[in-house]
Amino acid sequence: MRIAVHDYAGHPFVFELSRQLARDGHEVMHLFFEGDPGPKGATQRKASDPDNLSIAPVQIRKPYRKDKMLVRRAQDIEYGRNCGDAIISFKPDIIISGNTPIESQKRLVSAAKKIDSAFVFWMQDFYSLAIRELIGKRMLGAGVVVAAIYERLERSLLRRSDAVVIISDDFIFGLDKINVDHRKFHIINNWGAISEIPIVEKNNPWSRRMGLDSEYVILYSGTLGLKHDPMAICAIADHFATDKSAKVVVSAVGAGFDALRSELHLNPRPNLILNGLEPIENLPDMLGTADAFIALLENDAGRYSVPSKVLSYLCAGRPIILSAPASNLSAKIVLEAGAGRVFEPGDHQALVAAAEDLKRDAHIRLAMGAAGRRYAENSFDIEAIAKRFTSVFEAALEHRHPRKLAPTE
């Protein structure tokens, strides 16, 4: 098949999927938004990549503005148009698109229709629900109207898609409410790019460069946005303020990271180190520097979001301190794997206590880290995952172009 894999965010695990699909013999074009500031996978071709894989970064004319709604909408439309044009030129049999703003996704669905390609909606989050939570009560009530418009648009795009991949069965309840055909659903959980994240010793080039090779390090890595709680990180740093052997490191980008920087400007914390995102080639060493990880998810985002950072943490083989609703899939995974401890959002005291317990007990850290890595090795087999996506693509093609059955005699 000719497959266009579009992941707006450029996550490492989706690049891993594209590379495996190409190794399986498909002609693959991988598209992503080059201007998105979040964590990225290996965005350049590797020497080991097959010739039938192409990587197409998509651009817009000006820096993306998440903070200005009307500008953002116009840029989402521009991005969708540019990405759609690249896909039309490629002429794929299948388009799969995830992590994509609804205005952009609309243009990709239209592109699929124009070239008669099957379209797979890879649903990583309920975009319209996020809009309702963020702006539904704002703008003197007009936010409710805006949210309703996006709910109708998302419902329309899901219904027009030939297949829908959801990352958790938690999504089914929401999809039932908007009457999306059950026969289109395919549940494929997200995974960590285990091929990109080997187990690494703490004493490594990154830890030495940062002066952290002999420190006890609690690490937060990835997007720190509106659905996270940066003050939870401050609470842990405050607890270890008099412990010169402990450091809290945040390697991130996003509105929460900016808020954390502002907080440290007003109330400096020498043991809290802010670092920008690292390129994918530095990720294993950075994660290997950690003795424990932090992951955060607020209640409002807890039902549908599955932080990809948690899946990367499992690959790295270190214990996880997770603040998330118990019903969230990432919380269930961490507990099922025995890879860390989970607490309800806002319970800073419990997070601090867990960080202290893990610092005191190296045996528990090692056991939880090993359990997480074991879970990753058993669950994140990219060859098996690619086969599941291939089955989805075949179902989508059948939906788009039903085979004509011969009349019975």
Q: What is the mean pLDDT of residues 83-92?
A: 98
Token pair of 38, please? 């979040």
Average pLDDT score over the chain: 90
CA separation for the pair 21, 285 (Å, rounded): 27
**SS3 assignment, position 79:** helix
CA separation for the pair 178, 168 (Å, rounded): 17
Q: What is the DSSP letter of 140?
A: G
Is pLDDT above 90 for 357? yes
Query: How sure is the predictor about 37, in pLDDT bands with cuts at 50, 70 and 90?
Result: confident
Percent of the chain topping pLDDT 90: 72
Q: What is the DSSP letter of 406?
A: P
**SS3 assignment, position 213:** coil
Is pLDDT above 60 for 137? no
Is pLDDT above 80 for 264? yes
pLDDT at 300: 66
Higher pLDDT, 167 or 319: 319
What are the residues facing 54 on neighbouring strands?
29
Query: How sure is the predictor about 151, in pLDDT bands with cuts at 50, 70 and 90?
Result: confident
Percent of the chain topping pLDDT 70: 92
Is pLDDT above 70 for 405? no
pLDDT at 260: 93
pLDDT at 150: 79
What are the residues facing 164 on neighbouring strands?
121, 185
Task: Supply the CATH classification number for the domain 2-191+380-400.
Answer: 3.40.50.2000
pLDDT at 135: 61
Q: What is the mean pLDDT of residues 53-82?
A: 91
DSSP sequence for 296-349:
E--GGGTTT---HHHHHHHHHT--EEEES-TTSHHHHHHHHHT-EEEE-TT-HH
Looking at CATH, the fold of the domain delimited by 194-379 is given as Rossmann fold (3.40.50)
pLDDT in tens, 213-256: 999 999 999 988 866 888 999 999 999 999 999 999 999 998 89
Any idea where the domains of the chain sit in the sequence?
A: 2-191+380-400, 194-379
Under 8 Å between Cβ of 46 and 71: no
Distance of CA 311 to the CA centre of its chain: 9
Under 8 Å between Cβ of 331 and 257: no
pLDDT at 183: 85
Which residues have CB under 8 Å from 85's CB, separation 6+? 111
pLDDT in tens, 154-168: 899 999 999 999 998
What are the residues facing 5 on neighbouring strands?
30, 96
Is pLDDT above 80 for 128? no
